[in-house]
Each structure stands twice: as C-alpha cells, then as structure tokens.
Amino acid sequence: MNCPVCRQETIVLRKDGAERRRECTACHHRFVTVEVPKDEQLRQQEAVQTVIEAAEKLKAAA
C-alpha cells in the first residue's frame, strides 16, 4: 500500500480489526485502510450480480 499523497512506501502503525492505520515513510501522512478478504470480495460481487439479475427479471416481467 503506497501513500495517497506522495506514492511512497507506508508502514502499518496499528491494526484494529480489519483496519490498518498507516503512515507514509516519506511525508508522514497518516491514513486508514480497511482490508477486505478475497473471498469476501467474491461474495460481494456475487451479491451485486444477484441484484442485477433480479432487477432485469422484474423489468422483463413489467
């Protein structure tokens, strides 16, 4: 994960659940990232796909 300000390397200061508090090694900008596990990302994509399909079925039925 690189700094959103200067694109340099960052370090993790603290882990709090899925949150990572990070600090840039170059400009000392601090920010928080949230880690999303890969299988969780897949589940979300599938959920979105299901909603899209349901909406299209409704449209076709109307």
Residues at the site binding Zn ion, with contacts judged by CB under 5 A: 3, 5-6, 8, 24, 26-27, 29
Which CB atom, from 28 or from 57, has the smaller least distance to Zn ion? 28
Question: How far apart are alpha carbons 19 and 43 in whole angstroms?
Answer: 20
Tokens 């882990």, residue?
15
**To the nearest whole angstrom, how small is the minimum distance from the Cβ of residue 11 to Zn ion?**
11
Which CB atom, from 4 or from 42, has the smaller least distance to Zn ion? 4
**To the nearest whole angstrom, how small is the minimum distance from the Cβ of residue 21 to Zn ion?**
14
CB 34, CB 19: distance < 8 Å: yes
